[in-house]
Structure 1
């Protein structure tokens, strides 16, 4: 799949993880990358997870939640063993992950950040997350996503 390679897809290939790539034409006018992906791919929005970078007590931490909700910053801080969390500066998030906003994947990040995935991930046989660029989604088993990111699983969605 020429031109579709990202650090996330390279990681999946290297680890021989079963997955499917899904592409769609990203519309820059769409207000939500995650809901755009669900609509474009025709999948239940609760199965599509967005990757958000937060600052937990001065340490960048990744929260992965369904696009149907929001990240509960207090719950993320608690799950990450911290006291306070706030959304990270966009530039810091992009530098740390190596991805652009709207295309941040929990997989293959430049800096290995702690990851917390919402517990609803276990409700599905497969879930979708960003493949590392806008218009590219990865479909994989929740257990593989958890393992590849060394994630903590906790109720962090609001």
Structure 2
């Protein structure tokens, strides 16, 4: 099954690739690699803001991470000239979780992105990753995730 068909089956429509918020590019293509800048949890209702361990549940953090993953795929699609089927593999994601000093479940939060990639892309979605705490993130968002991908 194509990635596009699988996403449709999941009820996911990729948004237009978000524009950068400052002086950087949203992705860099080098050979068969795509390096995607950190994506924020922007959904139909706007940015998902909050701090894990204070005013957000792990489940809400997972949903925010899933939105980041959807936005990462939107950037990959843009890098591939609109053809998501050129995606070969998710290599690595780096997840940053806006969390309190005593919150230690960053990996559970970033599972929202990892689980999305596995469901949507199968084996091509399995990846290496980091899940770290951050005392603050841009605009007060709950999660930011960057990614490295292989394309053909």
Q: TM-score, normalised by structure 1?
A: 0.28
Q: TM-score, normalised by structure 2?
A: 0.29
| Structure having the larger proportion of residues in helix | 2
